[in-house]
Amino acid sequence: MKLLVTGGAGYIGSVCTARLVEAGHHVTVLDDLSTGHRDAVHPDARFIEARVHDAADHVDGSYDAVLHFAAKSLVGESVEKPELYWENNVVGSLQLINAVTAAGVGTMIFSSTAATYGAPDRTLIDESCPTMPVNPYGMSKLAVDMMLTAQAQAHGLAAVSLRYFNVGGAYGVFGERHATETHLVPNLLKVATGERNEAAIFGNDYPTRDGTCVRDYLHVVDLSDAHGLALDAATPGMHQVINLGTGTGYTVNDVLDAVRRGTGHEVPARLAERRPGDPAVLVASNAKAKDRLGWAPTRGLDDIVTDAWQFAQR
Ligand code: UDP
């Protein structure tokens, strides 16, 4: 297929691009390099340096599908500067959707997030769970999910929103290189490499097994491969919303243990204050992904740590 990937110079977009190129697709990456890296774009993909806001200049009817990863994705930043999230994630996506509609591109796959659910009171989250995002990042992603529902109805778009839980790991030279790193696994690895002295555990008084928060950690390669399957499952006139997670939860302490095991380093950690807005438990039901996409994760927490560690040492 001929595919346009926005955000293909970022972490998840670069891995997805690599996997799609290797599967034989013709991929063009559109990225403004605001947070991504030019050298993270697979060498066999075509590259356009542009904002999604200017998608109309670059999208034409020769594309079979658009995969939309380009977005701002820092929860804390979104609370402090929500306007950045409306402008980039909402307005930018609207411009892209308009370009897709005008050009007659039939299929769109969107990077949505578990943050659209907010802090649900159920521990296994399926797609029927009410969406009540608790920060502007989650709100901006939910707004785009809603746009896609309406576009599918009004214009026959085949749309799939994939709601990611906690993504980690790497794929060879493609991995996580954020200027501002807030995520647990890469932060623990920065301690293992010696870039930082110690890790912070944000709270140990949550109502969980060991008091630290529980999350569903998914390998970026499994995540990427779901996008290839979503291209096949996309159906004109339908917007399908599908969670991507493993269905298994790990505490922050479990992840710390896995990083100690996987790196062979001590990784000193201290207890810190709770981070505002962190729900105690977020674990995906992936029954719908299995049913609609025929997808199942093949890698676990130890693979995430091993692959991210290899990448971090490069
Ligand atoms: N966390 C932590 N120390 C860190 C980074 C994260 O204790 O340096 C915790 C965080 O409070 C949450 C979990 O690890 O409970 C996962 O956080 P992350 O930012 O990786 O993903 P999120 O679930 O917020 O999307």
In this structure, are 174 and 132 located in the same domain? no
Per-residue buried b or exposed e for 194-224, using 16+ beta carbons within 10 Å of the residue's own CB: eebeebbbbbbebebeebbbbbbbbbbbbbb
In this structure, are 35 and 145 located in the same domain? yes
CA of 254 to the centre of ligand 1 (A): 12
Contacts for 139 with CB less than 8 Å, ≥ 6 apart: 85, 133
Rounded to 5 degrees, what are φ and ψ at 142?
-65, -35
In this structure, are 306 and 182 located in the same domain? yes
In this structure, are 184 and 48 located in the same domain? no
182 lines ligand 1 (CB under 6 A): yes
Averaged pLDDT, 154-159: 98
d(CA 307, CA 159): 31
d(CA 246, CA 137): 23
In this structure, are 72 and 36 located in the same domain? yes
Residue for token digits 């110690």? 198
List the CATH number of the domain containing 158.
Answer: 3.40.50.720
Locate 274 and state its tokens.
């709770």
Averaged pLDDT, 168-182: 93
Least confident stretch, 118-122, 139-143, 187-191, 262-266: 118-122
- Ligand 1 atom closest to 182 (CA): 19
* pLDDT band at 121; cut points 50, 70, 90: confident
d(CA 125, CA 161): 15
Alpha-carbon 41 to chain mean position: 17
Alpha-carbon 150 to chain mean position: 23
In this structure, are 89 and 147 located in the same domain? yes
Residue type, position 163, single letter = R
Q: What pLDDT is recorded for position 253?
A: 98
In this structure, are 233 and 156 located in the same domain? yes
Catalytic one among 137, 164, 171, 206? 137
CA of 265 to the centre of ligand 1 (A): 20
Q: Which domain holds residue 181?
A: 169-216+247-313
In this structure, are 90 and 141 located in the same domain? yes
Entry field: residues in the chain: 314
In this structure, are 80 and 195 located in the same domain? no
* pLDDT single digits (tens) 256-314: 999 999 999 999 999 999 998 888 999 999 999 999 999 999 999 999 999 999 999 98
Please give the model's pTM, rounded to 2 decimal places: 0.97
- Ligand 1 atom closest to 187 (CA): 8
Locate 48 and state its tokens.
């356009």
Strand order, beta sheet including 107-113: 46-49, 26-31, 2-6, 65-68, 107-113, 158-164, 239-244
CA of 257 to the centre of ligand 1 (A): 15
- Specify the DSSP class assigned to residue 190: H
Q: What pLDDT is recorded for position 278?
A: 86
Residue for token digits 């907010």? 118
Quick one: 265 exposed, middle or buried, by C-beta within 10 A (0-12, 13-18, 19+)? middle
218 lines ligand 1 (CB under 6 A): no
* pLDDT single digits (tens) 177-233: 888 889 999 999 999 999 999 999 999 999 999 999 999 999 999 999 999 999 999
The candidate with the shortest Cα–Cα distance to 164, out of 98, 211, 230, 105, is 230
Residue type, position 34, single letter = S
Residue for token digits 């939860």? 249
Q: How many domains does the chain have?
A: 2
In this structure, are 42 and 131 located in the same domain? yes
Task: For residue 164, indicate whether it is catalytic.
Answer: no
Q: What is the mean pLDDT of the chain?
A: 97
Q: What pLDDT is recorded for position 40?
A: 97
CA of 229 to the centre of ligand 1 (A): 29
In this structure, are 163 and 173 located in the same domain? no
Mutate to test the pocket of ligand 1, among 75, 252, 267 (most ligand atoms within 8 A of CB): 252
In this structure, are 109 and 34 located in the same domain? yes
Of all protein residues, whose CA lies closest to atom 10 belonging to ligand 1?
202
**ipTM at complex level:** 0.97
* pLDDT band at 123; cut points 50, 70, 90: confident
278 lines ligand 1 (CB under 6 A): yes
